Amino acid sequence: MAKSRSEQPERPRAGAPVLTPRDENFPQWYQDVLAKAELAENGPVRGTMVIRPYAYGIWERMQAELDARIKLAGADNAYFPLFIPMSYLQKEADHVEGFAPELAVVTHGGGKELDEPAVVRPTSETIINTYFSKWVQSYRDLPLLLNQWANVVRWELRPRVFLRTTEFLWQEGHTAHATQQEASAYARRILLDVYREFMWDVLAVPVHVGLKTVRERFAGAINTLACEAMMGDGKALQMGTSHELGENFAKVFDTTYLDAEGQQRHVWQTSWGSSTRMVGGLIMCHGDDDGLRVPPRVAAIQAVVCVVRDGEGVADAAASIVKELAAAGVRARLDDRTSVSFGRRVTDWEIKGVPVRVEVGPRDLADGTVTLARRGRRDKATVAREGLVALAADALEEVQATLLAEAVEHRDAHTRAVGSIDEALEASAAGFARIPWRLVGEDGESRLAEAGASVRCLQLPDGSLPEGYEADEPDLDALVARAY
């Protein structure tokens, strides 16, 4: 049975890196975590980023978890070109207008001017529709469900690493269906069964789901569904979107099919995406003044086994523990860098947010014990060596549940029901405001925008996603916040 080693907070370690307190300067705290947890750096071209191995490991876990859910929803992975002819984007007026300020355009290649400028992929609706129109001939070809893992480029004026960058990594799904009802149902399925489930169950981020207003819809869509999360400073972050495209792109690109009665009809489409922005959301949702806290289900390193100091057999015992944890399905890492002070190493792993830490020293080895620590708790437990694997697995589940519970508590404590635009603006300074949509409307949205706030999504009063895509239902609530 585990016994407490120390119930008191550990004293600050000499020489430990210091993070700016979140309450003092949240943006600087975020930059500190990026640097000191070795997550990412700015690239040489303004707005680009270099994702370092530790953060890329987290992104790979996100990819794996999302990809499995996307495939369960019936979509297959494909890849489409990075360069898109400018004429493709110009075919859909709303789409090109929405993306025009963000486009990166290639005009020269191979030392000469191109016959037609090529746009560096900002999103792939236009090029994918070009091929959908070739591949879809009959109702037997539907539904066509594809997903792409790729990079995209949108020229950001105010870049922030992971949150808004000129180039970022993402997945984008594109589907074609026989009817509007099928397309609408699939867009909802992606939002609820893929994105919401992943964000709640894996990222431990309690996102709100809802409709975007007409003002906030994706360019070229008839409806946009979104996942909105609250960050540690009370601001909102859009974590994923699912769009109903209607027949807009199908009509422009002549994507049609022959139905069972022999009638030629346009397909109904969806597109949906999530990106490396989720890494930034993970940092800002769960991080504390000691650094990042990574939910175990998405952690590239779930447990680190640290050699406290040199001693006969200690390093071998620690390596054996890593193998035992790995055999039990725990993603474990050995830290035997005894040339670096133990206090410094502990601080580094805490800043990186590794969920569980196992400490092994000469005394532990002699006693047949190890020390088990959980990220976010100051107490440690001395446990029997032979029972460690089961205890570590329990600790990982505890950390996962605790992070979700704390995020829900924070979100709910910083959400206020209000009855006017002025009250909504006041509440949005520290969190979310929930206000009946009928009290906002288009004029209210303009007032909010002028003051730096926005309607993040529309929901039913119980927080659920309304049926259909009409944003003028009288019983909808609007979630208002300032956003990244």
Tens-digit pLDDT profile for residues 152-183? 999 988 999 999 999 999 999 999 999 999 99
Q: What is the pLDDT of residue 469?
A: 59
The percentage of the chain sitting over the pLDDT mark of 70, rounded to a whole number, equals: 94
Q: pLDDT per residue over 21-42, tens digit each?
A: 999 999 999 999 999 999 999 9
Q: What is the mean pLDDT of residues 40-62?
A: 97
Residue 8 binned pLDDT confidence (cut-offs 50, 70, 90):
very low
Angle at 215 between CA 213 and CA 217, to 5 degrees: 65
Residue 471 binned pLDDT confidence (cut-offs 50, 70, 90):
low
Q: What is the Cα–Cα distance from 284 to 299, expressed in whole angstroms?
A: 16
Q: What is the pLDDT of residue 378?
A: 80
Residue 199 has pLDDT above 90, yes or no: yes
Q: What is the pLDDT of residue 5?
A: 39
Q: What is the mean pLDDT of residues 228-246?
A: 98
Q: What is the Cα–Cα distance from 90 to 332, expressed in whole angstroms?
A: 50
Sign of the Cα pseudo-torsion (243, 269, 214, 189, in order)? negative
Residue 465 has pLDDT above 80, yes or no: yes
Q: What is the mean pLDDT of residues 465-475?
A: 71
User: DSSP for 291-306?
Assistant: B----GGG-S-SEEEE
Partners of 237 in the β-ladder: 229
Q: Which residue has the higher pLDDT, 328 or 90?
A: 328
Helix axes 277-286, 26-36, angle to 10 degrees: 110
Residue 10 has pLDDT above 70, yes or no: no
Of the candidate ranges 16-25, 276-285, 366-375, the one whose mean pLDDT is the lowest: 16-25
Angle at 474 between CA 469 and CA 476, to 5 degrees: 65
Render the burial of 260-296: b for 16+ CB within 10 Å, e for the rest: eeeeeebbbbbbbbbbbbbbbbbbbbbbbebbbbbbb
Nearest to 294 by CA among 24, 51, 484, 39: 39
The percentage of the chain sitting over the pLDDT mark of 90, rounded to a whole number, equals: 88
**All structural domains of the chain:** 3-14+303-395 (3.40.50.800), 38-286 (3.30.930.10), 415-481 (3.30.110.30)
Q: What is the pLDDT of residue 95?
A: 62
Residue 411 has pLDDT above 80, yes or no: yes
Mean pLDDT of the chain: 93
**Phi/psi of residue 480, nearest 5 degrees:** -110, 135
**Model-level pTM?**
0.93
Q: What is the mean pLDDT of residues 366-377?
A: 94
Sign of the Cα pseudo-torsion (433, 437, 443, 449, in order)? positive
Residue 19 has pLDDT above 70, yes or no: yes
Which helix (H) or strand (E) segment holds residue 433: the answer is: strand 432-436
Give the position of tokens 């944003």: 471
Cβ–Cβ contacts within 10 Å for residue 91, how many?
Answer: 16
